[in-house]
Structure 1
Amino acid sequence: MLKDSFGRIVDSFRVVVTSRCNYNCIFCHREGLTGLKRIEVLTPEDYGFLAYVSSKLGISYFKITGGEPLVRKDVPAIVKGIREYSKEVSLTTNGYLLKKLAGELANAGLDRVNVSLHSFDDETYQAITRAKVNVKLILEGIEKALENGIRVKINFLAMKINLGEFDKILEYASSKGVDVNVIELIPLGTPHNVYLEERTSLDPIVEKLSRISSNMVISSFQNRPVYTLPSGIKVTVIKGYGNPELCARCSRLRLTPEGWIKTCIFLEEPFVDISKELKNKDEYGVIEKIRKAVSIRKPYFTRSQL
């Protein structure tokens, strides 16, 4: 089992397979990637090899993301290659292509999908995503994923523009039996004027969840509060910025499309280039590079900053 110098276990990879996206969301943090060319150099075989070697080090949870990962035509193959050596493979998506690809993803072994659903109103949805998309397509994608046995979690990023729809999100999620992530807007990647105009406190949401939930626990991953509603669904509150409690139990490494390991979403550097080792199927080299990345991890926000 891998641990960094702060005693934090490392058991997961967040894998950015592309920085391309068919949306241009007003809040996008771009996974903290700004300074690199973001060229896609890794193949499904390379990702499979990463999972194979990582499994020997106790890293067994993989989240595939982007950009929009489903714009890569080989994503089902990437899922399949990783799933062979992992306990769980999940994927984040805006949902636009989910209806089309849900069957392939299920056959590849995808366990869970996080679907961004920030509004049920087409006008609001399009204002947030800056894409001419009808919400109906996203809901159909969720249905198709569920039909194919993929667990679904809704990502709801709370802003002033959509805060009034939170109750509708809970009602919809409860009707489908799917969990929800309520996510705080962070300044990373978000234009300053948008951040100032749209940022809203999650306190009213937390107060509501505290009132209506039947149980609340703190998850082992990033100390996230998780509320269980009477319907049985779980609602996780994610406050990622200025939150040392989250950093204190972060167990994740990140991989860029170039094949560089990134130790934190908020840190542009240091990176650890693992691309050559993956391409050459150099097991020892991959192990050493992962160990190096773990050794330089540090919490971005600490309790001493409070």
Structure 2
Amino acid sequence: MAIPAIQIARLGKYILTQTIKGNRHYPLVLMLEPLFQCNLRCKGCGKVNQPASILNQRLSVDECIAAVEECGAPIVSIPGGEPLLHPDMPAIVKELTRRKKFVYLCTNGILIPERINQFKPSPYLTFNIHLDGLEEIHDRIVCKQGVFQSAVRAIKLLKSKGFRVNTNTTFFGGQTPENAAEFFDFLMSLNVDGMTLSAAFSYEAAEDQDSFLTRAQSNKLFREIFKLGKGKNWDFSHSSFYLDFLAGNQDYSCSPWGNPCRSVHGWQRPCYLLEDGFVSSYKELIEDTDWDKFGVGNDPRCANCMVHCGFEPTAVADSVKRPIKGAMLALKGVNVD
């Protein structure tokens, strides 16, 4: 199952509670970036362009826990940089899972063999392995040969030790539906627990600005991919509504507050893809950000964005609210068919 039943149940309860309280700007996933340093220099990433003084910084265990407690999101995604370069990552994960937070540890897989014994399998921990396509495509995107095979070996090793494993895929320009379908077939043959996907978005800090997709190109690509996948057992770690959005069948607005980002710089405003500064607290981020300024139709920088960090929260909230709304209308005698 792509998303554990306990996570689905808890997330549904959480969204329902927030809805009943009338809260609009609530977080679903905390993007916790305890470091920017990485052992790769991927063409679609700008994190490693930070000065050495920033690349050498780390959030401490206490700072990470404080950010999680301050935010209150039920899910914590730990990207980077490469999180396994952080010497205290096992302690951070242990403290978060002890608090029953659902942790997605994002890694390129290179350091898995030497660090795997520092972690313990848990229903609250999922290793999220970065793979952007089959071998030739992935190694070209990460600008280093052999990384695809390292990631595959890491997946097999993690599964053999009883860990939950997801994959994290971003599709760039030049990806074909046929290659993507073959890629998903291959991932499922590795018995991964779920697959996360998104369309590449040309955010300001990215090095290669020529490999990104327009919204129309993304819709066309995903529509054709899903057509090829009809009848196949592809397990995506997304709501079906978000997948529909990627294919152009749903029209959602962005909910940038749904995936707030805490890094060595502070709380990033409004999201980790736009560089509009940082604030010192989550409270300040939520209360002092003019959220209506951002998103498709409001900010030209967002015109082609379809990234899950902004649109998945909208889709998930919609998927929870629709059954509730339908049940309420049915009770009132309204035909909801």
TM-score, L = length of structure 2:
0.66
Number of corresponding residues: 266
State which of 131, 152, 155 in structure 2 corresponds to 1:117: 131
Show the counterpart of 2:154. Answer: 141
> Judging changes above 3 Å, is the alpha-carbon distance between structure 1 residues 31 and 115 closer, same or farther for their aligned structure 2 residues?
same
State which of 36, 43, 53 in structure 2 corresponds to 1:19: 36
Report deviation, 1:90: 0.9
Report deviation, 1:107: 5.1
Letter aligned with residue 283 of structure 2: R
Gaps of 5+ in 2: 1-16, 304-337
Distance in 2 between residues matched to 1:197 and 1:63, nearest whole Å: 25
> Judging changes above 3 Å, is the alpha-carbon distance between structure 1 residues 96 and 10 closer, same or farther for their aligned structure 2 residues?
same
Q: Secondary structure at the match of 1:182?
A: strand
Show the counterpart of 1:180. Answer: 195
Q: Secondary structure at the match of 1:156?
A: strand
- 2:149 is equivalent to residue 157 of structure 1: no
> Judging changes above 3 Å, is the alpha-carbon distance between structure 1 residues 60 and 171 closer, same or farther for their aligned structure 2 residues?
same
Superposed counterparts of 1:289-300, under 5 Å: 289-297=281-289, 298=291, 300=294
Report deviation, 1:232: 5.3
Contact 2:201–2:212 (CA under 8 A) maintained in structure 1? no
Report deviation, 1:111: 1.3
Alignment root-mean-square deviation, CA: 3.5
Q: 1:128-174 CA deviation, whole Å, 9 max, x = no partner?
A: 11224342221010112222332222222222444352122111122
> Judging changes above 3 Å, is the alpha-carbon distance between structure 1 residues 155 and 39 closer, same or farther for their aligned structure 2 residues?
same
Distance in 1 between residues matched to 2:33 and 2:48, nearest whole Å: 8
> Judging changes above 3 Å, is the alpha-carbon distance between structure 1 residues 186 and 256 closer, same or farther for their aligned structure 2 residues?
same
Contact 1:26–1:129 (CA under 8 A) maintained in structure 2? yes
TM-score, L = length of structure 1:
0.72
Superposed counterparts of 1:1-306, under 5 Å: 7-30=24-47, 37=54, 40-51=57-68, 53-54=69-70, 58-106=72-120, 111-121=125-135, 123-163=136-176, 165-178=179-192, 179-188=194-203, 189-191=205-207, 194-197=208-211, 199=213, 201-202=217-218, 203-210=220-227, 212-213=229-230, 230-231=232-233, 233-234=235-236, 236=238, 237=243, 245=252, 247-248=254-255, 250-273=257-280, 289-297=281-289, 298=291, 300-303=294-297
Identify the structure with the greater strand proportion. 1
> Judging changes above 3 Å, is the alpha-carbon distance between structure 1 residues 91 and 302 closer, same or farther for their aligned structure 2 residues?
same
Gaps of 5+ in 1: 214-228, 274-288
**Worse overlay, 140-149 or 296-305:** 296-305
Larger RCO: Structure 1 or Structure 2 (Cα < 8 Å, ≥ 6 residues apart)?
1
Q: 1:202-236 CA deviation, whole Å, 9 max, x = no partner?
A: 313323314644xxxxxxxxxxxxxxx64252265
> Judging changes above 3 Å, is the alpha-carbon distance between structure 1 residues 267 and 186 closer, same or farther for their aligned structure 2 residues?
closer
Letter aligned with residue 272 of structure 1: V
What is the aligned-residue identity percentage? 17
Identify the structure with the greater helix proportion. 2
Letter aligned with residue 67 of structure 1: G
Distance in 2 between residues matched to 1:59 and 1:81, nearest whole Å: 15
Distance in 1 between residues matched to 2:195 and 2:48, nearest whole Å: 20
Report deviation, 1:291: 2.0
